[in-house]
């Protein structure tokens, strides 16, 4: 365990609820939909992380397996092999807390041992049976994301989210993960139709009784392309609009590729909300 991991975790947790939180994305993957192959080396990943922090990102999220629609799953050994050249050096270079985007307990355990303080699990502790205990034993915080194996266009997606979160929170409690270490994510783009993705964003309002922070990952998603087209500038505008709408429905953490633009947008949003 790296010295300062718990300090970074606690500093991040204390920040929740005080302002919109920007989570900057660094993918060390060859096939991520937006930036695959761009940050696979230590120098490029470190430069991107430092750029995001300088632009106002509060936390860096690093991932070594693409979870885009139609992605090819990679084995644990490959995910670790992608992380190893990058993660240790990035953690040394960046003062901000770092989270690991993985659903594999072994990858999470390795990342926590190096100093990562949050696990961002797209299967919400439900894919790898060892994940909840790994997070608890490592003292990390956890993002529990809603996911589905199959799309069911007839499902009430918010009811489905509630059932999923209830199961994940039960697993977290049994493992001993403190409640205040937990964040929820509606999982936009995962196992949902276009309409259900929109309902998942607005439906966070119906889930406020959990009294837990919500993270959303909407940046450059295909949902926005289906609404606006794939022009990068227009997609950025759509991302900003979607994240502001998500904030209005209860989200407080925003996983993004473009930190500076979101910091500016939320400065205005937050000023209006506090007026």
Round to whole Å and give the CA distance between 165 and 214.
12
Instruction: Give the Cα-Cα-Cα angle 139, 167, 120 (nearest 5 degrees).
Output: 40
**Domain spans, the chain:** 20-270
Listed in order, strand segments (DSSP E) in the chain are 21-27, 59-63, 98-101, 118-121, 141-145, 182-185, 214-216, 251-256
What sign does the dihedral 257-57-45-77 (CA atoms) show? negative
pTM of the model: 0.94
- pLDDT at 71 (0 to 100): 64
Q: Residue 70: its pLDDT value, please? A: 62
Note the pLDDT of residue 259.
Answer: 97
Predicted local confidence at residue 33, as pLDDT: 47
- The burial class, CB within 10 Å (0-12 / 13-18 / 19+), for 233 is exposed
Instruction: Catalogue the active-site residues.
Output: 221, 255
Task: Return the pLDDT at 242.
Answer: 95
pLDDT, block means (10 residues), the chain with 275 residues: 82 96 93 56 93 98 82 87 94 97 97 98 98 98 97 97 98 98 97 96 98 96 85 90 96 97 95 89
Would you state the pLDDT for residue 226? 84
pLDDT value for 29:
85
CATH superfamily of the 20-270 domain: Dihydropteroate synthase-like (3.20.20.20)
């Amino acid at each position: 365990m790296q010295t300062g991991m718990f300090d970074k975790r606690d500093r991040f947790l204390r920040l929740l609820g005080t302002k919109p939180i920007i989570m900057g994305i660094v993918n060390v993957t060859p096939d991520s939909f937006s930036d695959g192959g761009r940050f696979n080396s230590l120098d490029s990943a470190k430069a991107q992380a430092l750029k995001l922090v300088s632009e106002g990102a509060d936390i860096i999220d690093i991932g070594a397996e693409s979870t885009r629609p139609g992605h090819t799953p990679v084995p644990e050994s490959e995910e670790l092999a992608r992380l190893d050249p990058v993660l240790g050096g990035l953690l040394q270079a960046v003062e901000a807390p770092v989270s690991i985007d993985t659903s594999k307990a072994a990858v999470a355990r390795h990342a926590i041992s190096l100093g990562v303080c949050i696990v961002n699990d797209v299967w919400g502790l439900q894919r790898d049976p060892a994940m909840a205990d790994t997070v608890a034993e490592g003292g990390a915080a956890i993002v529990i994301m809603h996911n589905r194996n199959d799309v069911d266009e007839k499902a009430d997606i918010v009811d489905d989210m509630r059932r999923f979160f209830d199961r994940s929170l039960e697993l977290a409690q049994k493992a001993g993960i403190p409640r205040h270490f937990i964040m929820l994510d509606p999982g936009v783009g995962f196992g949902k139709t276009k309409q259900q993705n929109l309902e998942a964003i607005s439906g966070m309002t119906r889930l406020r009784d959990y009294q837990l922070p919500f993270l959303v990952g909407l940046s450059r998603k295909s949902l926005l392309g289906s609404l606006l087209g794939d022009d990068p500038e227009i997609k950025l505008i759509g991302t900003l609009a979607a994240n502001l709408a998500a904030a209005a429905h209860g989200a407080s953490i925003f996983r993004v590729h473009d930190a500076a633009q979101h910091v500016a947008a939320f400065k205005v949003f937050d000023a209006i909300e506090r007026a």
